[in-house]
Structure 1
Amino acid sequence: MALGRAGPRLQRGAQRRRREQGEAAAPRSGKLLLRSRRPELSQPRWQTVGRWEQPPLVSAGWKHRKAYGDYFQLEPSQEAAPALQAPPAEAGRGPTFAELGLQPALLAGLERLSIGRPTAVQRLAIPALRRGRSALCAAETGSGKTLAYLLPLLERLLGRPEAPAGAAGPAAPRGLVVLPSRELAAQVGAVAAALCAPAGLAVRGLTGGGAAGGLRRQLRAPPPGPAVLLGTPGALREALRRRFLALERLRWMVLDEADSLMDESFTGLLEEILAHAPLAAGAPGPAGPDEERTQVVVVGATFPAGLSETLAKFTDVGQFVTLSTQSLHRLPPHVQQKFVRLKGRDKLPELLQLLKERPSSGGAVLIFCNSAGTVNWLGYILDDHKIKHLRLQGQMSAAARAGIFASFQKGDVSVLVCTDLASRGLDTSSVQLVVNYDFPDTLQDYLHRAGRVGRVGSKAPGAVVSFVTRRWDVDLVRKIETAARKRTGLPGMDSINKPSPKGG
């Protein structure tokens, strides 16, 4: 999706500066990597910037009030998502799922989901996780991480069938996926159910927001004793405390969207859940003292500081294998990304123009705000302008949130105004435009938001438009622009570190 012309305020500002400064130099020939309003600062694709070289930046002067109205955009340098590209060493398009050795029941589940060939992270993770190793699995957003862990771990359950737990006593799943939100739990649960149905494995979701009796009913829905359980931290801890749930039979545990799970609101809950699982070396395994420990798989597009230290309290992180794709922590090269320097009061007219000029066939739109209050305020404004939309933010009740994202995914409404609650893991393959109405607070948040477009399964790569208003926003934009010009990963993101042996 190509971005439309600049808004009327931006155009007037640009015309004024051209009169003041004289017409800029002619743009450089050839395809561009970075297109600037000032052509002399555009960077062609053929131009390389040395590792220690400091390139001239469009955003260098963006803290000055004269910069209002300036903009630049990163042009797509390839058509397909990196996750869909087969490695050069492999002829054709890489191996099929069958060639990766998956059982027929799982291949039948993939057919039900209409999924063809494996993505890069799936080719990497499936063989490694089938061998039973605990792992840190890191890949860019929208690359297919859910199937990358579900397929090999379900394969391991099918390879070692056990009698289901009896109806009496707590539910005792053999596989557990911990997810940070009920929306993500519902989404991953639907994929797991489609994969497990041909294999005869029962899947259950466990989410909070209701009375304790609701937790019991979720776990006891027929057939009892789910093989695989997907849950949010609060609901899982409550079920463990009330002894509705036991983890002694766990073969594997997945911590999905690790950076969200390591948020301070979740860390205490997560540690309590980890303490119930048979993870520690020397502890009895699911089938006795000589049994292997529970396999732990930590999944994310970014990994927070402190993750290894938390895990090391319960398991030997030094034995984890690290699985990461080449595109990790890099800006999506197939997605157009535009950055516009604005006064705060100009954001609303620019957004309204973007929405009104968007063609009816232009796909869905995600508008990100940094707070629930801004989501609500912006929603009222869109109501006034007769722009049909949905809102999603974490302060909503469970009942209010239930179904909102599902409705958006079905296409009932094509505009969703949301907080970062919608930036982690959720499948947004219908989205073709992301608008950062509020610029994100961190580079990690920017990557997650940008990863809502150009996903595996998307019909078009899409585009991202970011409104840059605060001085500290400019600091982040400079880092993004520098990484784009140098074709490197974003700085300060490489935190997939294991603790030293001395630290456990």
Structure 2
Amino acid sequence: MQLMGFTCLGLEPRVRLMLQEAAPEVVWPTTVQSSTIPSLLRGRHILCAADPGSSKTLSYLLPLLQLLLGRPHLDSQRIPAPQCLVLVPSRQLAEQFRAVAQPLGSSLGLQVWELGRGHGRSRIKLPLSKQPPADVLVVTPGALWKALKRQLISLEPLSLLVLDEADTLLDESFLELVDYILEKSHIAEGPADLKDPFNPKAQLVLVGATFPEGVSQLLSQVASPDSLATITSSKLHCVTSHVRQTFMRLKGAEKVTELVQILKQHDRAYRTGPSGSVLVFCNSSSTVNWLGYILDDHKIQHLRLQGQMPASMRAGIFQRFQKGSRDTLLCTDIASHGLDSTHAELGTNYDFPLTLQDCSHRAGRVGRVGSDVPGTVISFVTHPWDVSLVQKIELAARRRRSLPGLGSSVREPLPQQT
């Protein structure tokens, strides 16, 4: 069934067989994959905007690997030069992508490497000197900027450039770095520019769960608008319908008691039967640390993940959470963007999100594609500005409209799945 489902999308037999052997649980393409894969194989630039948990990574990874199979290696490069670059906003996402892509690529004879930021020239240079060299390099903007400035890497022969979690990468905190990277890449005007393998131009892929107004205008600065295929899900920017949301109006002093009760109830359920894990979101690193001490006092086992930790520590903590060494993770929004939380059953907003975009990302961590547990989000509502956001969410859910302020200039929504 799997081979039949992906055959009509234009994937080669060896790619389909690789997928069947490496991911037998993927039995049929999702709606996002069905629309993205053919367009990418035809040489179109892709803007894919789909709700969290809709399996976007395979939608670009499978055709990406197939395109690389047909392109020659240019061995005359003076410094390392990957054919494909996948740009992600955090080291945890880089590690997660590498863990998915590396076994798929190696079965096709393609090398997938991760470039960590490090703190010195040797720390960056080491992954780039690996042999055989990377066909696909996954990297954060900061690490790539360092490597480009120190002339440790070249983007001249780049044939594919992916911005994953592009809504985060296009935020002002990353935008200057991303603009620099786009300037160093030779983006194709259109599919015709991709036909000369010895004078490569880059095909551009942007993937995200939300997109603000103006994305298309930004892309028009580096590529022809006619070359861009915009692919959106019908539920983009809408309240996640398959995740149950509960809002609890509490005083600030009541939040700890309520959280402890929720976690103890979940722990009892976890011990007596099948149950997923819990994500507890806070708005600051200091709250994560303080709340962790409170849970320690109540003998509630947990892990903590926040942005002030070293990147290598963050990656190790999330891996432990994914493997089930602890079923509760206290975290900031660093865990709400793109990380694979398939086993998460409950998301708790100890601090209510500051924006509707953060609401969408946090809710997207539960009830994901491939999850065997239902998704629930419990939000503690404390401040007047929390109430204002809740009212907007409830109104959007009642009217079945997108959340206000997340409007996108992308068009051509995907058909509803039946």
TM-score (norm: length of structure 1): 0.76
Could you report, residue by residue, the CA deviation over 1:208-267 in whole angstroms, capped at 9, with x for unpaired residues?
A: 13322111111112212x111110000011111111111111111111111211222211
Could you report, residue by residue, the CA deviation over 1:87-110 in whole angstroms, capped at 9, with x for unpaired residues?
A: xxxxx9996123323123322332
Q: Are residues 93 and 222 of structure 1, via their aligned partners in 2, closer, same or farther at CA, if it must alter by over 3 Å?
A: closer
Give the letter aligned to residue 302 of structure 2.
H
Given that 1:169 and 1:244 are in contact with CA atoms closer than 8 Å, whether structure 2 keeps it comes out as: no
Report the Cα distance in structure 2 between the residues aligned to 1:219 and 1:286, rounded to whole angstroms.
25
**How far is the alpha carbon of 1:157 from its aligned partner?**
1.5
Report the Cα distance in structure 2 between the residues aligned to 1:324 and 1:497, rounded to whole angstroms.
7
Structure-2 residue corresponding to 1:139: 50
Q: Tell whether 2:6 aligns with 1:107.
A: no
Q: Tell whether 2:64 aligns with 1:156.
A: no
Structure-1 residue corresponding to 2:326: 413
Q: Relative to structure 2, which stretch is displaced further, 104-113 or 446-455?
A: 104-113
SS at match of 1:337: strand
Report the Cα distance in structure 2 between the residues aligned to 1:308 and 1:375, rounded to whole angstroms.
37
**How far is the alpha carbon of 1:121 from its aligned partner?**
0.5
Report the Cα distance in structure 1 between the residues aligned to 2:2 and 2:388, rounded to whole angstroms.
40
Matches within 5 A, 1:40-189: 96-111=5-20, 112-114=22-24, 115-158=26-69, 160-163=70-73, 165=75, 169-189=78-98
More helix by share: 2
| Number of equivalenced pairs | 403
**How far is the alpha carbon of 1:285 from its aligned partner?**
6.2
Structure-2 residue corresponding to 1:261: 169
Structure-2 residue corresponding to 1:23: none
Report the Cα distance in structure 1 between the residues aligned to 2:197 and 2:313, rounded to whole angstroms.
47
**How far is the alpha carbon of 1:443 from its aligned partner?**
1.1
Out of 422, 427, 444, which is 2:357 matched to?
444
Structure-1 residue corresponding to 2:416: none
Report the RMSD for the aligned CA atoms in angstroms. 2.3
Report the Cα distance in structure 1 between the residues aligned to 2:308 and 2:52, rounded to whole angstroms.
25
Given that 2:281 and 2:333 are in contact with CA atoms closer than 8 Å, whether structure 1 keeps it comes out as: yes
Report the Cα distance in structure 2 between the residues aligned to 1:342 and 1:377, rounded to whole angstroms.
19
SS at match of 1:255: strand
Given that 1:134 and 1:295 are in contact with CA atoms closer than 8 Å, whether structure 2 keeps it comes out as: yes
Given that 1:251 and 1:295 are in contact with CA atoms closer than 8 Å, whether structure 2 keeps it comes out as: yes
Structure-2 residue corresponding to 1:39: none
Q: Are residues 157 and 116 of structure 1, via their aligned partners in 2, closer, same or farther at CA, if it must alter by over 3 Å?
A: same
Given that 1:108 and 1:198 are in contact with CA atoms closer than 8 Å, whether structure 2 keeps it comes out as: no
Q: Are residues 93 and 464 of structure 1, via their aligned partners in 2, closer, same or farther at CA, if it must alter by over 3 Å?
A: farther
Structure-2 residue corresponding to 1:368: 281
Report the Cα distance in structure 2 between the residues aligned to 1:495 and 1:275, rounded to whole angstroms.
24
Q: Are residues 300 and 139 of structure 1, via their aligned partners in 2, closer, same or farther at CA, if it must alter by over 3 Å?
A: same
**How far is the alpha carbon of 1:326 from its aligned partner?**
1.1
Out of 195, 213, 224, which is 1:316 matched to?
224
Structure-2 residue corresponding to 1:13: none
Report the Cα distance in structure 1 between the residues aligned to 2:14 and 2:293, rounded to whole angstroms.
49
**How far is the alpha carbon of 1:309 from its aligned partner?**
4.7
Out of 316, 329, 332, which is 1:403 matched to?
316
- Identical columns (%): 51
TM-score (norm: length of structure 2): 0.91
Structure 1 unmatched ranges of 5 or more: 1-91, 499-504
Q: Are residues 370 and 305 of structure 1, via their aligned partners in 2, closer, same or farther at CA, if it must alter by over 3 Å?
A: farther
Could you report, residue by residue, the CA deviation over 1:321-359 in whole angstroms, capped at 9, with x for unpaired residues?
A: 211111211222222111111111111111000001111
Given that 1:278 and 1:286 are in contact with CA atoms closer than 8 Å, whether structure 2 keeps it comes out as: no
Structure-1 residue corresponding to 2:415: none
Report the Cα distance in structure 1 between the residues aligned to 2:322 and 2:409, rounded to whole angstroms.
32
Give the letter aligned to residue 80 of structure 2.
A
Report the Cα distance in structure 1 between the residues aligned to 2:151 and 2:395, rounded to whole angstroms.
52
Q: Tell whether 2:276 aligns with 1:348.
A: no
Given that 1:257 and 1:301 are in contact with CA atoms closer than 8 Å, whether structure 2 keeps it comes out as: yes
Structure-2 residue corresponding to 1:422: 335
Given that 1:365 and 1:415 are in contact with CA atoms closer than 8 Å, whether structure 2 keeps it comes out as: yes
Structure 2 unmatched ranges of 5 or more: 412-418
Report the Cα distance in structure 1 between the residues aligned to 2:135 and 2:354, rounded to whole angstroms.
39
Give the letter aligned to residue 378 of structure 1.
L
Matches within 5 A, 1:277-292: 277-279=185-187, 281=189
Q: Relative to structure 2, which stretch is displaced further, 188-197 or 289-298?
A: 289-298
Report the Cα distance in structure 1 between the residues aligned to 2:95 and 2:129, rounded to whole angstroms.
18
**How far is the alpha carbon of 1:318 from its aligned partner?**
5.3
Structure-2 residue corresponding to 1:222: 131
Q: Are residues 481 and 392 of structure 1, via their aligned partners in 2, closer, same or farther at CA, if it must alter by over 3 Å?
A: same
Give the letter aligned to residue 170 of structure 2.
M
